[in-house]
């Protein structure tokens, strides 16, 4: 990191990053730790950093280093595109491999040992920082001499962070007491950074499966299986309940309504058939709803294709930034379905301001996301962070949006407006019917709040791992699990919305358009509440800028999730309502 006063490479090289890496703030730079294949190094010096308490610049540099140790900041190193992992023992004799290692650790003034200080009993002095100024690197390779191909391939890179107080620069030995940095900076301080390298032949690990050791050691795979099975059992049970209630009740309803029609002494209509003349009455704010549906369709197709490709292994962690790049490119190219769905639904709602509809579809939600993103980036620029996106990349994103996405949205809207509006199975009456007094549970708000609980219950465990991968730099590779959860989410959003929609229609409340969208999209509110809980319980974020950044990026996630889940719920409900009114006889 540029702000930390570590050793710098004299001829620093920076490989070109793809769009996903730039957006995620991944910046790769060459390091001063130089290796030659099969050449062992022992306790080799990299550089020395000296700090004088009389010098204000030195004071601020050391204070920044201490703050990094206090907040458990991590180094992330790469060799041959492989993360250099730090493996250590956890309970039950298992090993856990972390794709990063801490810069140091801290023992509090009251003697509490924090974070990585637990690995060494010598780290015990109160109000003291311990710097990991030495690393023992082990590089394992697969030799080709027995398989008739020249050279060797790197299959594993591991290290152990160590702390040594090097007293003599000219005669360095990697043993002795740890490198202590006192809490109070009163005396001159010299920090000498060193490393050792060993090479081991490991022919039982194939180059194609060299990532496996990182993935196998991740401690949460078992939790994943348990959570998936748990989710699946709950969802299957609920699906069965919902299907049974709806199919049996509906079947009886339809049979009863059609029987009443055929009998001469037709009784008065009741239940959901009563509102047949109003159920397809266009909603208020139909413009906004149609725009949301267009954007939601775009996000749904993008998510589906991205997750499907990730499942097939095209977007593995080895392809850095591939997932984000794929998602952004797909989103840009999927302007046509957004324009088409929005225009077709707006025409179905009997809207006439088609120009406004097209412009809002192309600009409203992407505009909100871009504005949020731009403000976040402005904060990063002001703070001088390396994660700030260069101005050129922002211009490129704007060019993709206005040069590709917007014209494609216009094309989709053109075809959408050319189509006939969606035909409803029943005619709408001239005069709106009065809605009777509703009980507490059939009022809009309680139904909407209840509707989001079920889908959120299926995804919250996955959400924990996704947030970990974004904010705690842990690897996310379980796209098979995620795709399964995605399918479960679709089913639960649809079922919860359809069930609540049916109850509201039975209570003779025909305002279902917006309610069906908001019932499932309320899951996004629970997502936001969970993100707030995660922020306070799991993250050690201090400072206003960092907090604004966390919640700024969270709001983008929440908006995308709101549109996606709402669209699923709406179309499930639309299909359901069209279906039930098409099978009853209406005079």
Which residue(s) pair with 189 in the sheet?
A: 51
Q: How confident is the model at residue 307 (pLDDT cuts 50, 70, 90)?
A: very high
Higher pLDDT, 148 or 269: 148
Report DSSP state, residue 539: -
- Percent of all residues in the chain with a pLDDT value above 70, rounded to a whole number: 94
pLDDT at residue 217, rounded to an integer: 59
Average pLDDT estimate for 80-101: 81
* Most confident residue range from 108-122, 156-170, 245-259, 552-566: 552-566
Could you tell me the end-to-end alpha-carbon distance of the chain, in angstroms, rounded to an integer?
Answer: 74
Summarize pLDDT for 387-436 with one digit per residue, the tens: 788 888 899 999 999 999 999 999 999 999 999 888 888 887 777 777 77
More confident residue, 72 or 372: 372
pLDDT above 90 as % of the chain: 38
pLDDT above 50 (res 1): no
Q: What share of the chain is helix, strand, coil (3-state, %, to 5)?
A: 55, 15, 35
pLDDT in the model for residue 470: 83
User: Which pLDDT score, from 0 to 100, does residue 587 have?
Assistant: 58
Q: Assign 191 to helix, strand or coil.
A: strand
Lowest mean pLDDT among 253-257, 341-345, 464-468, 576-580: 253-257
Higher per-residue pLDDT: 259 or 50: 50
Q: Give the position of tokens 């924090």.
A: 114
pLDDT of residue 408: 96
Digit-coded pLDDT (tens) for 175-226? 889 999 998 888 889 999 999 999 999 888 888 888 777 766 565 666 667 7
Largest CA distance in the chain: 109
Most confident of 227-236, 489-498, 576-585: 489-498
- Integer Cα distance of 511 and 353 in angstroms: 23
Separation of alpha carbons 390 and 393, rounded Å: 5
Residue pLDDT, tens place only, 106-137: 999 988 888 888 888 888 888 999 999 999 99
Integer Cα distance of 512 and 280 in angstroms:
9
Radius of gyration of the chain (CA): 30
Q: What is the dihedral of CA 222, 223, 226, 232, to 10 degrees?
A: -120
Q: Is 249 helix (H, G, I), strand (E, B) or coil?
A: helix
Residue 32 in this model has a pLDDT that exceeds 70: yes
Q: Between 480 and 419, name the one with better pLDDT.
A: 419
Q: Which pLDDT score, from 0 to 100, does residue 533 have?
A: 94
- 340: confidence class by pLDDT, cuts 50, 70, 90: very high
Q: How far apart are CA 136 and CA 194, in angstroms?
A: 9
Residue ranges in 312-443 assigned as alpha helix (H): 322-333, 335-348, 354-383, 391-400, 406-418
Q: pLDDT-based confidence at 568, cuts 50/70/90?
A: very high
Q: What's the pLDDT at 266?
A: 47
How high is the pLDDT of residue 430?
77
Q: Would you state the pLDDT for residue 141?
A: 92
Helix (H) or strand (E) holding 223: helix 221-262
Higher pLDDT, 55 or 270: 55
287 close to 353: Cβ distance less than 8 angstroms: yes
Q: How confident is the model at residue 265 (pLDDT cuts 50, 70, 90)?
A: very low
236: number of Cβ within 10 Å: 12
Tell me the average pLDDT across 546-551.
88
Whether the CB-CB separation of 197 and 137 falls below 8 Å is answered with yes
Q: Considering the entire predicted model, what is its pTM?
A: 0.85
User: CB 84: neighbour CB atoms within 10 A?
Assistant: 22
Torsion of CA 474, 476, 478, 480, to 10 degrees: 170
What's the confidence (pLDDT) of residue 2?
47
Instruction: Return the ∠ at Cα 248 (arms to 441 and 253), rounded to 5°.
Output: 75
For the residues 308-312, what does the mean pLDDT come to?
91
Pairing of the two strands 95-98 and 86-89: antiparallel
Contacts of 211 (CB under 8 A, 6+ apart): 82, 316, 317, 318
Work out the mean pLDDT of the chain and round it to a whole number. 86
DSSP per-residue letters across 115-166: GGGGG-TT---TTEEEE--EEEEEEEEEE-GGGT-SSEEEEEEEEEEE----
Q: Write out pLDDT tens, residues 222-255.
A: 666 777 777 777 678 777 877 777 777 777 777 7
What does the pLDDT average to over 462-471?
Answer: 85
What is residue 575's predicted lDDT score, i.e. its pLDDT?
93
Q: With contact defined as beta carbons under 8 Å apart, do 51 and 77 qualify?
A: no
Q: Per-residue pLDDT tens for 45-62?
A: 999 999 998 888 999 999
Compare 317 and 281 and report the one with higher pLDDT: 281
Torsion of CA 432, 433, 438, 442, to 10 degrees: -70
């Amino acid at each position: 990191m540029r702000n930390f006063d570590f050793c710098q490479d004299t001829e620093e090289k920076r490989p070109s990053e793809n769009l996903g890496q730039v957006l995620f703030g991944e910046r790769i730079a060459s390091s001063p730790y130089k290796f030659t294949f099969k050449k062992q190094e022992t306790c080799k010096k990299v550089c020395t950093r000296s700090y004088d308490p009389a010098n204000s610049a030195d004071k601020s540099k050391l204070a920044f280093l201490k703050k990094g140790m206090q907040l458990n900041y991590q180094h992330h190193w790469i060799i041959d595109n492989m993360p250099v992992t730090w493996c250590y023992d956890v309970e039950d004799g298992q090993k856990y491999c972390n794709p990063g290692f801490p810069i140091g650790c801290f023992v509090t003034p009251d003697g509490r040992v924090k974070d990585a200080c637990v690995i060494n009993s010598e780290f015990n002095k109160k109000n003291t920082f311990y710097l990991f100024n030495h690393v023992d690197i082990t590089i394992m390779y697969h030799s080709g001499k027995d398989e008739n191909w020249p050279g060797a391939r790197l299959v594993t890179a591991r290290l152990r962070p160590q702390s040594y107080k090097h007293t003599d620069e000219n005669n360095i030995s990697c043993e002795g007491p740890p490198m202590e940095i006192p809490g109070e900076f009163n005396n001159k301080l010299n920090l000498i950074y060193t490393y050792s390298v060993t090479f081991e032949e490991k022919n039982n690990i194939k180059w194609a499966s060299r990532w496996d050791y990182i993935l196998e050691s991740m401690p949460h795979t078992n939790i994943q299986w348990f959570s998936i099975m748990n989710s699946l059992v709950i969802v299957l049970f609920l699906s069965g309940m919902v299907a049974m209630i709806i199919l049996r009740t509906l079947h009886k309803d339809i049979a009863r309504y059609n029987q009443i029609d055929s009998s001469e002494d037709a009784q008065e209509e009741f239940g959901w058939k009563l509102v047949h003349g109003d159920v397809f009455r266009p909603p208020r704010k139909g413009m906004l709803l149609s725009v949301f549906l267009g954007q939601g369709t775009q996000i749904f197709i993008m998510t589906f294709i991205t997750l499907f490709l990730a499942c097939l292994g095209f977007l593995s962690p080895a392809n850095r930034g591939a997932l984000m790049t794929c998602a952004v490119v797909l989103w840009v190219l999927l302007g046509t379905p957004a324009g088409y769905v929005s225009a077709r639904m707006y025409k179905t709602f009997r809207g006439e301001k088609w120009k406004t509809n097209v412009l809002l579809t192309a600009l409203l939600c992407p505009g909100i996301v871009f504005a949020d993103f731009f403000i976040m980036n402005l904060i990063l620029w002001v703070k001088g962070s390396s994660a700030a996106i260069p101005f050129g990349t922002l211009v490129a994103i704007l060019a993709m949006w206005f040069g590709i996405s917007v014209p494609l949205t216009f094309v989709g809207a053109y075809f959408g407006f050319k189509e006939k509006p969606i035909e409803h199975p029943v005619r709408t009456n001239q005069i709106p019917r009065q809605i009777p007094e509703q009980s507490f549970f059939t009022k809009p708000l309680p139904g909407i709040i209840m509707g989001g609980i079920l889908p959120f219950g299926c995804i919250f465990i996955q959400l924990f791992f996704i947030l970990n991968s974004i904010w705690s730099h842990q690897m996310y590779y379980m796209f098979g699990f995620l795709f399964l959860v995605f399918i479960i989410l679709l089913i639960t959003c649809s079922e919860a919305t359809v069930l609540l929609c049916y109850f509201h229609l039975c209570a003779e409340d025909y305002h279902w358009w917006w309610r069906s969208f908001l019932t499932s999209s309320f899951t996004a509110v629970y997502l936001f509440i969970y993100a707030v809980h995660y922020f306070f319980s799991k993250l050690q974020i201090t400072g206003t800028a960092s907090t604004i950044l966390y919640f700024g990026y969270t709001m983008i996630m929440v908006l995308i999730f709101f549109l996606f889940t709402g669209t699923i719920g709406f179309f499930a409900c639309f299909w359901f309502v069209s279906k039930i009114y098409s099978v009853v006889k209406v005079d």
